[in-house]
Amino acid sequence: MLVLMACTDNQDILAQTEAKGVVERDITLHSTILGRDMKYSVYLPAGYTTTKQYPVLYLLHGYGGDQNDWWEYDDIADDADAMIAAGEIPEMIIVTPDGRTWMYIDNCYGNGINYEQYFFEELIEDVETRYSIRRDRGSRAIGGFSMGGYGALRYGVMHNELFCYVYAMSSVIGGYGAQDMGDIIGDYDPLQLPGITLECGDRDYFTYDNREFSALLTSLGVTHEHIERSGGHDWTFWSACSPKILSKVGSLFTASDSGIQSIRSDKHQPDIYGLDGIRRNGLQKGLNIVGGAKIFIQ
């Protein structure tokens, strides 16, 4: 009996450590806006079920890549499996769309292709209808590298009501047919913006651009994280970022999943905002109940 129980326990532990998510590749979405079929790929955590809803992380590839770069050149699916199994992050869905070479904007270099409109009017709706995904801001994050870093920054800033975090690696800051982020960021209230991480290697093409953009964010009072470490513009560098991306957004997703809403505040400003962008000045320190939601302020 004891031997049988021990074996059963070991089997349970083995099953938990070997639990693997599934990457569904090359899902086809016909875009009316673009007038063509587009593809995206999706990571679903082990045991995915439609009986519950999951947070979602959108990851954008670089120039010349496609929707499968993250699965072919990176171990992020294995990272997610291991971190979920260890209880370090909550179960989440990861979406990697195909952005071609269009800088994730509309009419790049006058090509007449409205990719940004497609992303927000068709792609997100298709993903979040096809899969069981929570649609609140606190359950949606975005990241990317190079061209995809620019797309992540642009989307997180200009559509800040949709994303709780932006993780931009080796990011293009401007050019290549796209408006400079330095010219965009000043039009937005720092307290309305999602959290931002800039991570770039010290031998990257965009090292100095990221330094200057970080300095601009600081001057504008935009709370952010700037990481510069040894590395170049390659998958060796980006792959080392992947666990950090998962950990960062996972901490926010956990707060959202628990029903306790995270609060952002600026010590230089009297205003307090929730991740949903709603002003929460009337709240007190400690646990508050607003419309049935739990909001905790330290």
| Domains: count for the chain | 2
In a domain, 235, yes or no: yes
Whether residues 57 and 137 share a domain: the answer is yes
Same domain, 38 and 171: yes
Residue 7 lies in a domain: no
Sites in the chain below the pLDDT cut of 50: 1-17, 259-271, 273, 275-278, 289, 291-292, 294, 298
pTM, full prediction = 0.82
Residue 13 included in any domain: no
- Is 275 found in the same domain as 254? no
Whether residue 143 is found in the same domain as residue 173: yes
Pairing of strands 195-201, 165-169: parallel
Residue 12 counted as domain residue = no
Query: Is 173 a domain residue?
Result: yes
Which residues neighbour 122 within 8 Å (Cβ) at sequence distance 6 or greater? 29, 31, 32, 33
pLDDT at 75: 93
Helix 76-85 to helix 235-257 angle (10° resolution) is 40
Instruction: Return the pLDDT at 87.
Output: 95
Q: Does 153 share its domain with 285?
A: no
Closest CA to 30 of 93, 121, 122: 122
pLDDT digits (tens, 9 = 90+) for 102-115: 999 999 999 999 99
- Identify whether residues 80 and 139 lie together within a single domain: yes
Residues 144 and 287 in one domain: no
DSSP conformational letter for 71: H
Structure token pair of residue 111: 């090509």
CATH number of the domain where residue 149 is located: 3.40.50.1820
Note down the domain range covering 265.
260-298
Compute φ and ψ for 77, nearest 5 degrees. Answer: -65, -45
2 belongs to a structural domain: no
* pLDDT, position 254: 81
Residue 1 lies in a domain: no
Percent of the chain surpassing pLDDT 70: 80
Considering the domain architecture, whether residues 160 and 247 belong to the same structural domain is answered as yes
pLDDT for res 19: 83
Residue 6 lies in a domain: no
Residues 172 and 289 in one domain: no
Same domain, 231 and 285: no
Identify the CA nearest to 184 among candidates 166, 204, 202, 203: 166
Cα–Cα nearest to 276, from 140, 176, 182? 140
Residues 70 and 39 in one domain: yes
| Residues 239 and 121 both lie in one domain | yes
